[in-house]
Amino acid sequence: MTCVRGSEETQVQMHTIAGSDYHAFPVLLLAAGASRRMGRPKALLKFNDGTLMDHAVSQAKQLGANVTVVSGSGYPLVRYRCRNQPSAWCYTPDWVFGMAASLKSGLQTIGPRAKGVFVTLLDQPLVSESDLRSLAFCARQEVSEPFAADIYGNPGAPAYIPRRLWKEIMMLEGDRGAARILTRHQAKTLAIKGVESDVDTPEDWRRIRYD
| Residue 170 neighbours by CB distance under 10 Å | 12
For the segment 8-66, what is each residue's pLDDT rounded down to a tens digit?
344 434 444 455 689 999 999 999 887 777 868 899 999 988 999 999 999 999 999 99
pLDDT at 141: 96
Q: DSSP assignment of 83-152, as one string?
A: SS--SEEEE-TTGGG-HHHHHHHHHTT--TT-SEEEEEETT-TT--HHHHHHHHHHHHHSTTS-EEEEET
Q: What's the mean pLDDT in 113-138? A: 97
| Residue 117 neighbours by CB distance under 10 Å | 27
For the segment 93-125, what is each residue's pLDDT rounded down to a tens digit?
988 888 899 999 999 999 999 999 999 999 999
* Nearest to 26, CA basis, from 82, 103, 128, 99: 103
**Of 79-83, 157-161, 184-188, 205-209, where does mean pLDDT reach its minimum?**
205-209
The alpha carbon of residue 133 and the mean position of all alpha carbons in its chain are separated, in whole angstroms, by 13
Q: Average pLDDT, whole number, for the chain?
A: 88
Q: Which residues pair with 150 in a beta bridge?
A: 155
Phi then psi for residue 36, to 5 deg, are -60, -40
Domains and CATH numbers, the chain: 24-210 (3.90.550.10)
